[in-house]
Amino acid sequence: MKPKKQDIKISLSLLEIDYGELNAQLERFAPLADWFHVDVMDGNFVPNLSVGLPVVRAMKTKVPLDCHLMINHPDQYIEPFAKAGATSITIHAEASTHLKRDIQLIQKAGCKAGVAINPETPVSKIAAILPLVDMILIMSVHPGFGGQTFSPTVLDKVAWIRSRYPKLSIQIDGGINDKTAPLAVQAGATILAAGSYITQSDNPEVAFRKLTKAVAFL
């Protein structure tokens, strides 16, 4: 069963915004986002550092905060991120030592639980937890940096999950633009994590419209 147009959401990645004027940027981008996608990197699970708890705490917005934790020992940070204001918390299957327990920790903390897998991680790694999660995140680039090129080989994983779980939220993250988003949606993705295509555009409104129009074929 293919997702319907009204099911598609844009989770706007804030990785490359100007954090010197955080809340002004959130206000500026709020009309272009169903959710804000907050990329948390530890310089260990991924070869880059980004923002953490104090920044999430400082965010003043009504847009739901979709926190993507690219960190080792995610269990230690679930409750703090929930308290900081996360609406959903996505952890990496490669980084969690007790995936089922960590999913439950996220849900007990009052957040939607997401599990992410890197491009080289097979879907078999998460098959057992699919009935437990609120969302799966399929990385379409190697995590760590914005502005990379979308890898279409991950689409088979999206289609595999979609064929078995018609209603599950499937997020795709990395290299999303008006050309790659339709491929992801056709395979079954419902949440588009889009960063540089919108935030680094000369005209973010035009980029946003192009992106939403590109997936309006459903």
By CB under 6 A, is residue 194 in contact with ligand DX5?
Answer: yes
Look at the alpha carbons of 28, 23, 174, 78 in this order and tell me if their dihedral is positive or negative.
negative
* Interface segment toward ligand DX5; rule CB under 6 A; list 1-9, 90-98, 136-144, 163-171: 136-144
Quick note: the x/- pattern for Zn ion over 58-97, rule CB under 5 A, is ----------x-----------------------------
156: phi then psi, degrees, rounded to nearest 5 = -60, -35
* Interface segment toward ligand DX5; rule CB under 6 A; list 77-85, 152-160, 163-171, 188-196: 188-196
Residue environment code for 103-129, b if the CB has 16+ CB neighbours within 10 A, otherwise e: bebbbebebbbbbbbbeebebeebeeb
Residues 6+ apart with CB under 8 A from 63: 26, 30, 33, 34, 35, 36
Encoded tokens for 20: 């010197």
18 is catalytic: no
Quick note: the x/- pattern for ligand DX5 over 158-187, rule CB under 6 A, is ---------------xxxx-----------
Of 75, 102, 173, 178, the active-site residue reads 173
Q: Which of 175, 171, 167 is nearest to 198 (CA)?
A: 175
By CB under 6 A, is residue 148 in contact with ligand DX5?
Answer: yes
Look at the alpha carbons of 33, 211, 136, 43 in this order and tell me if their dihedral is positive or negative.
negative
173 is catalytic: yes
Chain residues 6-35 in contact with ligand DX5, contact rule CB under 6 A: 13, 15
Binding site for Zn ion (CB under 5 A): 39, 68, 173
- Residues annotated as catalytic are 39, 173
